[in-house]
């Protein structure tokens, strides 16, 4: 059975531009994967200074529903993913009325175990999915994800299609 990563009141599939500082620990962008959000704020100074092994990304909310606006958020994650996106097969679309509204992923057993540990440790906290050094979505962990079956839902049509394409590129 697929478990939802979370449900947010806003469309939670959002593309973000990496905003790492040009010097210090944040200069190197994280690789792709699922990351525990260590700190986040609308003010950069609230999440600084960065510790060794941390990276700073800027969450720009590019894929919110029309009319919804959020200020950029500064998000601190580790440079290395907590969970690699080591998939068993190609990501699959959840369609509604011909539009991609969500995504199904199945992780390899080792990645699935790691995701279960991460979601257990970060219950009621945020995790970020990062692809190519950019946060593409941030989720509130509401339940432990077991067996590596992940369902990302409540996506706006354009955003879900974007994330699906990015995940397919990562998979190949």
pLDDT digits (tens, 9 = 90+) for 53-87: 999 998 887 666 667 788 899 999 999 999 999 99
Residue 14's pLDDT is what? 26
Q: Can you say how many angstroms the Cα of residue 119 is from the centroid of all Cα atoms in its chain? A: 13
Average pLDDT of the residues of the chain:
80
**Sheet hosting strand 54-59, strand order edge to edge:** 39-41, 73-78, 54-59
> What would the two tokens of residue 27 be?
């200069």
Total domains in the fold of the chain: 1
Residue 167: CA count within 13 A, CB half-sphere: 31
- The answer to whether the beta carbons of residues 87 and 103 sit under 8 Å apart is no
The more confidently predicted of residues 99 and 84 is 84
Q: Which residue has the higher pLDDT, 100 or 136?
A: 100
In 3-state terms, what secondary structure has residue 3?
A: strand
Kindly state the tokens that stand for 29.
């962008």
Q: Residues 3, 150: contact at Cβ < 8 Å?
A: yes
Neighbour count for residue 106 (Cβ, 10 Å):
17
CATH of the domain at 110: 3.30.1360
User: CA angle, 30 as apex, 22 and 140 as ends, to 5°?
Assistant: 115
Q: Which domain holds residue 119?
A: 3-171
- Reported pTM: 0.77
> How far apart are the C-alpha atoms of 16 and 61, rounded to whole Å?
6
Whole-angstrom Cα distance, residue 39 to residue 49? 11
């Amino acid at each position: 059975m697929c478990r939802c990563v979370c449900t947010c009141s806003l469309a939670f599939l959002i593309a973000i531009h990496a905003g790492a500082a040009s010097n210090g620990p944040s200069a190197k962008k994280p690789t792709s994967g699922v990351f525990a959000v260590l700190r986040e704020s609308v003010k950069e100074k609230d999440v600084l200074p960065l510790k060794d092994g941390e990276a700073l990304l800027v969450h720009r909310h590019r894929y919110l529903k029309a009319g919804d606006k959020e200020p950029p958020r500064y998000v601190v994650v580790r440079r290395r993913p907590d969970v690699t996106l080591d998939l068993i097969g190609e990501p699959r679309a959840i369609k509604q009325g011909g539009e991609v509204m969500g995504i199904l992923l199945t992780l390899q057993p080792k990645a699935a175990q790691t995701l279960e540990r991460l979601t257990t440790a970060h219950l009621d906290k945020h995790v970020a999915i990062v692809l190519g050094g950019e946060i593409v979505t941030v989720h509130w962990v509401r339940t432990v994800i077991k067996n590596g079956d992940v369902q990302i839902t409540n996506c706006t049509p354009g955003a879900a299609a974007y994330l699906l394409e990015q995940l397919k590129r990562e998979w190949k």
